Amino acid sequence: MTGRSNIEDANRKLYNKDRVESFNVKANRLVAKFMTSCVLQYDHSKSSKQVVDRQLFVDAEKELDVDSPEVANVSSFWDPKSTTVLDFGCGAGNISLVLKPYIHKAFGVDISEDMIDAYSQRTGFDGYACNIAEDPIPPLEGVQFDAVVTTLAFHHVEDYQLVTHKLVKYLKPGGRLFVVDFDSTNKYGSLEHCLLIHGLGHSDHDDKNRRKEVLDQLGTAHTHGFGPEIAIRTLENAGFTNIGVDSHLDVRVWPTVEEFQTMSGQTGDFARFPRDAAGRCELSHGLLLVAGQKPLS
Ligand SMILES: C[S@@+](CC[C@H](N)C(=O)[O-])C[C@H]1O[C@@H](n2cnc3c(N)ncnc32)[C@H](O)[C@@H]1O
């Protein structure tokens, strides 16, 4: 079995139908609202390859209303009458749900059939389960979108450079790609996140053996190492222009222990997890957004 099929099998297994409930947890919906807001607000006038440190730190529980469909300061790129979106690594549809009032239509692609079933049920949009690196997408034969949006999927993909190349085909000339993922140069990057959310709450720097054990178990479904420089190179190599990065998009959420268990699928000992006075778990995400445009010709 190749490394690639290992990681893909691990992701299909991780994102099964028992995981759908985790997308309903408020903390996950808040993170989705934050990421989608960053995409909807992205400033397209940025010059080529510019890294803009937005230093946006959002305590989502206090600053975002998860139940309101509204997002402030949406860019004029998005048109509810016409904009079409490919949501890659769509999961159960949290991103497409936030996008919905600002677009005409979305289509979800994910490696997990269970996620696509949940995506269609929750969003009302169509989707298709496949490995985009290898499989054709029959419903999308000849179809091109105004935007491709992908959030928190690249750190699950073995070869995100190859995936980025594949995604270009599904964009109209002049169309935009938006990738949001953990920034490995951030304190709260993917490694730390994986140790917290999938690793029994053990962000355990002192216990090297435990840390290695957790990482070895997790390694099959995750990769690490996406930062501003590699993000720019990835889009450049795939032929994108007008590339820009918003770095330091930090969002913090506070799930209860029960919510955290649903989010992570873990029921272990959370005694060492960072908590507030009410006992809620502190969960920070250090993200970046990279965007680029497919050339007009
Ligand atoms: C952390 S979830 C993010 C879901 C959604 N984008 C969101 O932000 O709510 C990662 C998703 O990526 C999907 N995924 C993992 N590897 C993939 C691959 N090679 N191709 C497509 N989707 C993949 C998983 O099945 C899962 O639904």
Residue-level pLDDT at 63: 83
Q: Do 191 and 222 meet the contact criterion of CB atoms below 8 Å apart?
A: no
pLDDT at 55: 61
Residue 153 Cβ inside 6 Å of ligand 1? The answer reads yes
Structure-token match 């993922």, residue found: 181
Output the residue whose Cα is nearest ligand 1's atom 20: 111
Whether 251 lines ligand 1, by a CB cut-off of 6 Å, is no
Give the residue among 89, 132, 123, 129 at the shortest CA–CA distance from 105: 123
pLDDT, position 207: 59
Closest Cα partner for 282 from 84, 47, 60? 60
The answer to whether the CB of 7 falls within 8 A of the CB of 79 is no
Q: What is the pLDDT of residue 93?
A: 98
Does residue 119's CB lie within 6 angstroms of at least one atom of ligand 1? no
Tell me the domain boundaries of the chain: 3-294
Among protein residues, the one with the nearest Cα to ligand 1's atom 3 is 152
Q: What pLDDT tens digit does each residue of the chain (297 aa) get?
A: 344 458 888 889 889 999 999 999 999 999 999 999 999 999 888 766 666 656 667 887 788 888 999 999 999 999 999 999 999 999 999 999 999 999 999 999 999 999 999 999 999 999 999 999 999 999 999 999 999 999 999 988 989 999 999 999 999 999 999 999 999 888 788 777 777 776 655 444 455 666 666 666 666 677 777 899 999 999 999 999 999 999 889 999 999 888 988 888 777 666 667 788 888 888 889 999 999 999 998
Spatial distance between the Cα atoms of 228 and 60, rounded to a whole number of angstroms = 23
Residues whose CB falls within 8 Å of the CB of residue 9, separated by 6 or more in sequence, listed in order: 1
Architecture of domain 3-294: 3-Layer(aba) Sandwich (3.40)
**Ligand 1 in reach of 32 Cβ (< 6 A):** yes
How high is the pLDDT of residue 3? 45
Å from CA of 206 to ligand 1 middle: 31
Tell me, in angstroms, the distance from the centre of ligand 1 to residue 110's CA: 6
Give the 3-state secondary structure of residue 188: coil
Distance in Å, CA 50 to ligand 1 centroid: 27
DSSP H stretches of helix in 252-292? 257-264
Residue 90 Cβ contacting ligand 1 at under 6 Å:
yes
